[in-house]
Amino acid sequence: MSKDTRPKVRFVEVSAEEEGQRIDNYLMKTLKGVPKSRIYKMLRKGEVRVNKGRIKAEYKIEAGDTVRIPPVQTAQREQEVPVKLNVVQSLEDAIIHEDDRIIVINKPSGMAVHGGSGMSFGVIEALRALRPKAPFLELAHRLDRDTSGCLMIAKRRSTLRFIHKQLQEKKIQKRYWALVKGAWPAKQKFVDAPLRKFQVKSGERLVRVSDDGKPCLTSFRVVERFQDLSLVSAEPITGRTHQIRVHAQSVGCSLIGDDKYGDDTLNQQFKRDGLCERLFLHAYSLEFKVRPEDKKPIKVEAPLPDDLQHTIDQLRK
């Protein structure tokens, strides 16, 4: 006789780490792959109940609440991450800091932080697959797929909220190494230029400097100069998409290996010469606190990956 695999009613107790979020957001995370319209319909019809009572979408769940989740088919994508893949296994070795509240990974270039846009899984799905018993793992911020370096994953909801608060208040220090075209102007300590997202005919989304864009500020410091190239340390004061890349381009110093905003001829030359195969952008340093009462911030550094170090070694010859 075949086993009945149809979804059944579930009663789930809210943990302390899940407390404080709206019930609609909680359901979207719990019921992977279920359309938003279905979730709101369940709430309207009273199919979802908390402590046996009907609730509205804006209800904020509390630790100890019992949530009735009706029978509904969910996506299984997170369970399908192939944990034996080298790229997945290597994530444990890429951890450069871990405590009871946060993980910092030295993210490899080429790996997205989460699945989507043609990627079946990213860092967060892979980490959850490697640690199936972890009660809570969420990205605290983002890195572009091609960017390597320090990436924070929160292990508690309270930590996630506090990290987001610090990011909004510009209290987290993030520093990147970038190799750029040309001689970076010595007087150019900051680039203060608003950025706006737009979509080209192909559907690709790009960012450009625009008077009607969002305020954006990046600090730049020259670390080393080479012939017609500069290694700079960049610190984004605000947190906009492709901020460092577009700000560098705006002063005539686009990043090496940047296929969106860079110099295609120079990038091809670097590839032909075996100097750099990818975007030269690496998040090398993070300073942050995990609790409001912490007196000193945690400082984490990620060394330059071997491929980018090879680029610098060859340029020094």
- Determine the Cα–Cα distance for residues 16 and 227; give it in Å rounded to an integer: 56
Is-contact 294 163, C-beta < 8 A? no
- Determine the Cα–Cα distance for residues 179 and 225; give it in Å rounded to an integer: 10
Catalytic choice (24, 99, 100, 144): 144
For β-strands 217-226 and 148-154, DSSP reports them as unpaired
Residue 243, CB-side half-sphere exposure with 13 Å CA sphere: 26
Which amino acid would we find at residue 183? Answer: A
- Determine the Cα–Cα distance for residues 279 and 180; give it in Å rounded to an integer: 10
For the question of residue 144 being annotated catalytic, the response is: yes
- Determine the Cα–Cα distance for residues 198 and 207; give it in Å rounded to an integer: 6
- Determine the Cα–Cα distance for residues 198 and 53; give it in Å rounded to an integer: 45
Token pair, residue 171, equals 């209290």
Residues carrying an active site annotation: 144
